[in-house]
Amino acid sequence: EAGVTQSPTHLIKTRGQQATLRCSPISGHTSVYWYQQALGLGLQFLLWYDEGEERNRGNFPPRFSGRQFPNYSSELNVNALELEDSALYLCASSLWRFEQYFGPGTRLTVT
């Protein structure tokens, strides 16, 4: 069974630009979660999508947004990038609120 995949592996952007990160969940999983893992801050919950709907979001500004497609894959968009957005962005998938399976992450560097 294929795991959660994320692309790209690394992304380098300059301040003010937009970044788009992608996630493909495990087949059959309907929920996708996005997290930001910044150095020393642990995992910060960003967004939760289920069945195409945004179910909840963490304490992040509106320039962090996303969507879930009919095939349950998901996209995270970060607009107006700031230096402090540099982090590892993790995607996880699950069946409703059961255990989450994580992808390898996308390392975003903002210069």
Partner 1 sequence: AQSVSQHNHHVILSEAASLELGCNYSYGGTVNLFWYVQYPGQHLQLLLKYFSGDPLVKGIKGFEAEFIKSKFSFNLRKPSVQWSDTAEYFCAVISGGYQKVTFGTGTKLQVIP
Do the beta carbons of residue 106 and residue 9 sit within 8 Å? yes
From the number of C-beta atoms within 10 Å of its C-beta (0-12, 13-18, 19+), residue 49 rates as buried
Residue 42 interacts with partner 1 (CB under 8 A): yes or no: yes
Output helix, strand, coil percentages for the chain, rounded to the nearest 5: 5, 55, 45
Interface pick for partner 1 out of 13, 104, 107, 109 (rule CB under 8 A): 104
Which residues ranging from 75 to 94 are in contact with partner 1 (CB under 8 A)?
90, 92
Nearer to partner 1, 32 or 78 (CB): 32
* Residues found near partner 1 in the complex (CB under 8 A): 33, 35, 41-43, 45, 48, 55-56, 58, 90, 92, 97-105
